[in-house]
Structure 1
Amino acid sequence: LPLLLLSVLSPCRYRAFTFGLTFLLYTSFHLSRKPISIVKSELHKNCSALHELSTAGSRQLPNLHTETDCSWKPFDKSNYKQLLGAMDYSFLCAYAVGMYLSGIIGERLPIRLYLTFGMLMSGLFTCLFGLGRIYNIHNLSFYIFVQVANGLVQTTGWPSVVTCIGNWFGKGRRGLIMGIWNSHTSVGNILGSLIAGYWVSSNWGLSFIVPGLVIAAMGVVCFLFLIEREYCSVTGCEIKITPTLNLSLTVTLKPKIAFLLVGKCCRSLHVRIVLYASLSFSIQGVIEFSLCLLFAKLVSYTFLFWLPLYITKAAHLDAKKAGELSTLFDVGGIVGGILAGVISDKLGKRATTCAVMLLLAAPTVSQSLSLGLALCMLLVCGGLVNGPYALITTAVSADLGTHKSLKGNSRALSTVTAIIDGTGSVGAAIGPLLAGVLSSRGWNQVFYMLMAADFLALMLLLRLVTKELTSANVVKPRSGSTTVE
C-alpha cells in the first residue's frame, strides 16, 4: 500500500502527506501520556465537603465518611503525592533508559514496522491502566508495571518520526518547519486533557482506554501509509552507512524490502554498517544541548504531570475544569515552538535563541497570587519553556544528526536524536518525582526547583552562545585571513 500510494502521489505531495501523517502519529503518543495527570486528582479526592454535609444533615448518625473514603486505593493514604510521583518516575525512568536503546534499534529496522509495533503496544498498556478501574485493581505493583512497560514501548516514537521527517525535508527553513511540526506535542497534550477530562469524573478508566484505542488505531494507519524516505530509482547500488556504534554488520536485502528500508531499489543491496557511538558524542553541541534539554524537559514534564493537580488544589476546581485550564500551557507551547523556529532560522543561531527564551522563562515559572494572573502566565510560560524544548528536540537534533562528520548518513539521525532526547528524558523523570516529594512541603518548593532548573539549562548553553556571537563578528577578507571586528 505505501508503494501504491507513492506511485499515485508526486514526491512533493507525499512530502506534505508525510508531514501531516507523522504529526498525527506523534500527537497520538502525547495524547496517550496525558490522562495520568488529569486522573491524579480523581485517584485521591478530598471528601471533606461531603463529610461536612453529612454532619450538618444528621448529627445523630455516625460519621461514615473520611477525607479519603472516596479515593482510589492505594492512593488514599497521606503519602499519595509520593505514590503518584513514583508512578510518573517509573514511566519516565523507563522512557529515559529505553530511549538510548531505541535509536540504535531503530537504525537497523524498517521505521514503519518499528513504529507500528511501538504504537500498538503503547495502546495496549495505556488501556491496561484504565482496565484497572473497571476490574477494581488496587495493587500498586500493577500500575507501576504498566507504567514501566508503557515507558519502554513509547521510546519507539520520537527517534522514528524525527528520522522520517528529517529524511523528507532538507535543511532549508528547518526551524520553521520543525517548529510547526513539533506543535504535535502540545496538540496531543490538549486533546489528551480534553478526552481524559470528559470521563474523569464518571469513569476514569475510559480516560485511559479511549486514548489507548486512538494510538493503536494510528499504529495501523502508520503500517498502511508510512514511507520513511523519498524514493530514489537506482539500477545498481552499494550503500555505505556511516558508523555510529562499535559493530560491523553486512546485510543483504531483497529489492522490495530495500526500497522500504532505505529507498534504494536494486537487485540486491549490500549494506555495510560500521557504527561508532563515540562519533555522535564527538559532534560539537551534542553534549551541551543534551544536558540543556535535561533541565528544559524537567520543567516541561513537571508541568505536564502535575499542573492539573496543582490547579485542583490551589483553585479548588474539579478534575475536568482543572484539565481544561491546564491546556493553556500547551497552547502557549504551540506558539513558542513556532516562534523559536522562525527566530532561529532568521538569525541562524539555535543556541542563542534557546538561551534568550530560557532567560525570559525564569520569572514566569513562579507561583502567582491570583488565579487570573496565573492563567495568563501559563500562556507565556508555556511558550518560553516549550520553545527551547521544541527547538532542541527537532531542528537542533536534525542539524546535528546530519552533521558533515556523519557523511550523509541520515539513519545516524535516529541515534543522535535518541541521545539528545534520552538525556532530556532523564530530566523528565527527575522533575515529576521531585515535584511529588517537594509538594508535600508546599507548592512554593516546586516552583523554586523549576526556576533553578531553568537557570541551569541557560548556563549549559553559554559556551555555544558565546561561539555563535563571536562567529557573527568574524569577517573573512579576500586574502583568506580571518579578522575579528
Structure 2
Amino acid sequence: MGTTVSARFWQLIALGLAWVGYSTTYLLRKPISVIKNDLKTELGFSMTQLGWLDTAFLLPYAASQVLLGSLGDRVSPRKMLGGSMLIASASMVSFGYWKSHSVFLLLLFINGAAQSLAWPGAVKGVVSWFNGDDKNTALGVLGTSAFVGGFLGTAVAVQLQKDGWETCFVIPSVVVASVGLVIIVLFKSSQDIQNAADGVQSREKEVTSHTSFSELWRIRSLPEVTVCCFFVKFIRYCMLMWLPMYLYTELRYSKIESGMLSTVFDIGGILGSVLLGFISDRLFQGNVLCCTSVALFLSSAAFLLFLFTSSQGMMYNGLGMLLAGITNCGSDTMITGPIAAQIGEQDGRNVQSATTGIVNGIGTAGAILQGPLVGILAGFIGWSGVFYAMVLLTLVSGFFMVRVQSAQNAVTFQEL
C-alpha cells in the first residue's frame, strides 16, 4: 500500500508541475499579441514589422523542436523543461526597455528556441510516470495547460498593460523563472525516484546520442503522424486567428460579441483534451489511435455543422464551435502527446522526446503557414471555401490516422 500511495503521490506531483510549468510559458508568449497596437503607435512599427515579431518567435520554436527535441532523451525532463523556462525568462525580462525592432527580433528568437524544449520535456516527464491505463488521460490533462495558459497569458498582459506596455514582461519573467527553478528541483522522473530509493546516482540514458533526424524520420508511422499534425494545427490556428474576424464580418456580430463568442472554440479545446484522453483509456482500451481517428472524422462533421447553421443564431454557432473545438483541439493534444510518445516507444526505443519534438515542431509549421494561405483563400473564394478546405484537410488527417492504425495492427498481427 505504501509503495502504491507513494507512486500515486509522485504521479500527481509530476503531472501538476508539468501542467503549471507549461501553462506559465504562455506568460511570455501572449503579451506580444496584446501590445502590438502600442508598438505601432508609440514606436511607429509598421504592420509588416509587427508580423515579423510573430515569425521571430514561431520559426525557431518550430525548428528547434525538430532539431533539439531529442535532447530530452539524453537529459532529464526536469532539466529540459526547467532550463527552457529559465532561458526564456532571461531573454524576455528586459524586453520592454528596448526600443529597437532588431533587438526585439533577437530576444523573441531566443524565447522561441528556448520554449521549444518545454513541451517535449513535459511530455517525457509525465510519460515516465503514466505507462498504464491512465497515460492518455494524464496527457490529455497536460494538454489543457496550453489553452488555460493562453487565457492567463492574455489576461495578465492586459492587466499589466495598464501601467505601460513596458511592464508586460518583467513580472511574467520572474514568475516563469521561479516556476522553472521549482521544476528543476522537484520535477522527478520515475527513474530519478527509483535511483534515489536504490541509493544510486541518477544517470541519463544516451540512447539517442547518435540518432540523426533521418534515422528518426524512418521510425514506423512517424511521417504520417507528423503530416496529420501539420493539417490539424493548420486548422486549429485558422480558427484561433481568424474566427473573431469571420464572426464580425460575415455573421454580423459586434466586435465584443465576436471576441467573446470565439472563446467557445478554446473552451471546447480544454474539454476535448481531457475527454479524448479519458475516452481512449476507458472506451477504446487505451487505443488512442482509433479514438483520435474517430475524433477527426467527427471534427469534419462539426465544421460542416458550423458552416450550414451559421445563419441560425448564436446558440447554433456556439454549439458548432464547441464541437469543433472538442474534436480538433482534442485531436491536436492526442497527436502531440500520447501518439507522438507512443511512436517513440516502438520496438523498445526510448525516444519519446525526439518524436514529440518532430511531430509538434513540423506541425507548428502549419500554424505559421495558415495566416497567408487563409488570407489568400478567403479573398479568392470566400469564407465558405475556407471552411470546405478545413473539412477536406480534416478528412485527410483522419485517413492518415487510419493508415497509422492499420500499420500498427499489421505489426501486432505479425508478432502473434
TM-score interval, smaller chain: 0.7 to 0.9
Structure 1 residues 110-130: Cα deviation after superposition (integer angstroms, max 9, x where no partner): 332232221012123333433
The yes-or-no answer on 1:465 pairing with 2:406 is no
The separation in 2 between residues aligned to 1:182 and 1:276, in whole angstroms, is 28
2:116 is matched with 155
Asked which structure has the greater CA Rg, the reply is 1
1:169 is matched with 130
1:22 is matched with 18
After TM superposition, where is structure 1 displaced by more than 6 Å over at least 4 residues in a row?
A: 308-314, 321-324, 469-472
Question: Which secondary structure does the structure 1 equivalent of 2:96 belong to?
Answer: helix
2:175 is matched with 214
Give the 3 Å change call, closer, same or farther, for CA 457–413 of structure 1 in structure 2: same
Question: Which secondary structure does the structure 1 equivalent of 2:201 belong to?
Answer: helix
Consecutive unaligned residues in structure 1, runs of 5 or more: 1-6, 45-70, 237-253, 263-269
1:12 is matched with 8
Identity level (%):
25
How far apart are residue 273 of structure 1 and its match? Answer: 5.1
Give the 3 Å change call, closer, same or farther, for CA 294–12 of structure 1 in structure 2: same
User: Which structure dedicates a bigger proportion of its chain to strand?
Assistant: 1
Q: How does 1:448-463 map to 2 (within 5 A)?
A: 448-449=385-386, 452-453=389-390, 455-463=392-400
What amino acid maps onto 2:402 in structure 1? Answer: V
User: Which structure dedicates a bigger proportion of its chain to helix?
Assistant: 2
Consecutive unaligned residues in structure 2, runs of 5 or more: none
Aligned residues: 400
Check whether the contact 1:296–1:454 (CA below 8 A) recurs between aligned residues.
no
What amino acid maps onto 2:194 in structure 1? Answer: C
Which of 29, 43, 61 aligns to 1:95? It is 61
What amino acid maps onto 2:223 in structure 1? Answer: I
What amino acid maps onto 2:216 in structure 1? Answer: S
Give the 3 Å change call, closer, same or farther, for CA 399–156 of structure 1 in structure 2: same
The separation in 1 between residues aligned to 2:354 and 2:88, in whole angstroms, is 21
Q: How does 1:222-371 map to 2 (within 5 A)?
A: 222-230=183-191, 231-233=193-195, 255-258=200-203, 261=204, 274-275=210-211, 277-304=213-240, 317=255, 327-345=263-281, 346-347=283-284, 348=287, 349-363=290-304
2:160 is matched with 199
The yes-or-no answer on 1:389 pairing with 2:332 is yes
Q: How does 1:88-167 map to 2 (within 5 A)?
A: 88-132=54-98, 137=99, 139-167=100-128
How far apart are residue 13 of structure 1 and its match? Answer: 1.0
The separation in 1 between residues aligned to 2:11 and 2:143, in whole angstroms, is 16
The separation in 1 between residues aligned to 2:173 and 2:195, in whole angstroms, is 39
The separation in 1 between residues aligned to 2:118 and 2:11, in whole angstroms, is 19
How far apart are residue 378 of structure 1 and its match? Answer: 4.0
Q: TM-score, normalised by structure 1?
A: 0.70
Which of 333, 337, 344 aligns to 1:401? It is 344
How far apart are residue 83 of structure 1 and its match? Answer: 3.8
Check whether the contact 1:360–1:384 (CA below 8 A) recurs between aligned residues.
no
The yes-or-no answer on 1:414 pairing with 2:353 is yes
The yes-or-no answer on 1:186 pairing with 2:140 is no
How far apart are residue 177 of structure 1 and its match? Answer: 2.3
Check whether the contact 2:15–2:138 (CA below 8 A) recurs between aligned residues.
no
The separation in 2 between residues aligned to 1:323 and 1:154, in whole angstroms, is 27
Question: Which secondary structure does the structure 1 equivalent of 2:133 belong to?
Answer: coil
